[in-house]
């Protein structure tokens, strides 16, 4: 089966995804992102859903948890432009994705 990738982001970041060839839904706020997330999470052709971190942080916990429970699509947060993340943030993100994918917490050395 062929899986698709889609993004949910603010208009400026969504334009960048589209330039890179990734279909993107442009939303202005977390409420709209939550609505799009709920619909996208039920798309049987979608394998990876990229969501801008600032929007993902504002999505209601129940909607976010329901999307994260599904094995597919894999929900991947994308850093918002201009946000300074700690250096170990990338490793934490990878560990969280692995935990969701295999259902077990892994320790990286």
Q: All domains of the chain, ordered by start, with CATH? A: 4-80 (3.40.50.10580)
Whether the full predicted model's pTM is greater than 0.85, yes or no, is: no
Nearest to 72 by CA among 32, 96, 40, 26: 40
The pLDDT value given to residue 88? 63
3-state helix, strand, coil in the chain (%, to 5): 45, 20, 35
Inform me whether the pLDDT recorded for 85 exceeds 60.
Answer: no
The pLDDT value given to residue 21? 93
Inform me whether the pLDDT recorded for 91 exceeds 60.
Answer: yes
pLDDT 10s digits, 11-58: 999 999 999 999 999 999 999 999 999 888 888 899 999 999 899 889
């Amino acid at each position: 089966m062929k899986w698709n990738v889609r993004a949910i982001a603010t208009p400026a970041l969504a334009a960048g995804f589209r330039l890179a060839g990734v279909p993107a839904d442009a939303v202005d706020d977390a409420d709209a992102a939550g609505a799009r997330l709920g619909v996208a999470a039920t798309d049987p052709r979608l394998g990876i859903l990229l969501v801008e971190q600032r929007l993902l942080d504002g999505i209601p916990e129940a909607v976010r948890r329901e999307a994260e429970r599904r094995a597919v699509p894999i929900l991947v947060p994308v850093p918002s432009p201009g946000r300074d993340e700690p250096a170990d943030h990338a490793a934490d993100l990878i560990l969280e994705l692995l935990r969701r994918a295999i259902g077990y917490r892994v320790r990286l050395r």
